Chain A
Amino acid sequence: DTAVSQTPKYLVTQMGNDKSIKCEQNLGHDTMYWYKQDSKKFLKIMFSYNNKELIINETVPNRFSPKSPDKAHLNLHINSLELGDSAVYFCASSPRYNEQFFGPGTRLTVL
């Protein structure tokens, strides 16, 4: 069984569109994260949720909105996609401030 899963794995879309990326973890962890990895492999944390509550919200355009329907899911919705949003987005979970378990990533390409 996959511990942290993301869908879709690849996402190609036009500028201005709205898209969502889904993340699910079956590890029973309290905390989930979204990261953006750019073309230089730099990892930037975007959001963190603990038990469905937002605890980290870094400087991210408000076009990005996370939603956590329950402790096992943290979805990322992006409005009005821009070229600069092209990146790999990783979901992760952790048992409360400890090591993080990463999903396989979603490669977003905005044309």
Chain B
Amino acid sequence: AQSVTQLGSHVSVSEGALVLLRCNYSSSVPPYLFWYVQYPNQGLQLLLKYTTGATLVKGINGFEAEFKKSETSFHLTKPSAHMSDAAEYFCAVSSRTGNQFYFGTGTSLTVIP
């Protein structure tokens, strides 16, 4: 069985500060990993994904995430927060062979001017 845990349902950062959103997964084999962003009153948009290959994945809007198998983590980072980054962020995991897709409970990011 797979699951994904996002630590911190709310994160606040100052504009220009580092953004770090945490995601840990539980899986017997390395899964596919995703980060999605949801802006107010909109659907979810893919930020980045890890399937195979390089463990540091770069996404849109300056975000990146690193797959660490030893820590079963896939934390999302951005060096410098912008006001426009304020949104809900979801980590998700899917199995490589089956049809299972699980979302974390989400982290609401607030950017303080």
A binding-site residues for B, Cβ under 8 Å = 4, 31, 33, 41-43, 45, 48, 50, 55-56, 90, 92, 94, 97-105
Choose among A42, A50, A92, A99 the residue that contacts B99 (Cβ–Cβ < 8 A): A50
Report whether A97 and B42 are in contact in the complex, using a CB–CB cutoff of 8 Å: no
Q: How many residues of B contact A (CB 8 A)?
A: 26
Main secondary structure of the interface of A (DSSP, over half): strand
Report whether B101 and A45 are in contact in the complex, using a CB–CB cutoff of 8 Å: yes
Given contacts A90-B43, A97-B98, 17 further A-B contacts (CB under 8 A): A31-B99, A41-B38, A41-B88, A41-B108, A45-B101, A45-B103, A55-B99, A56-B99, A97-B99, A97-B101, A99-B34, A100-B44, A100-B101, A101-B46, A102-B43, A103-B43, A105-B42
For B92, the chain A residues whose CB sits under 8 A away are 100
B binding-site residues for A, Cβ under 8 Å = 32, 34, 36, 38, 41-46, 49, 51, 88, 90, 92, 94-99, 101, 103, 105-106, 108
Choose among B90, B94, B108 the residue that contacts A98 (Cβ–Cβ < 8 A): B94
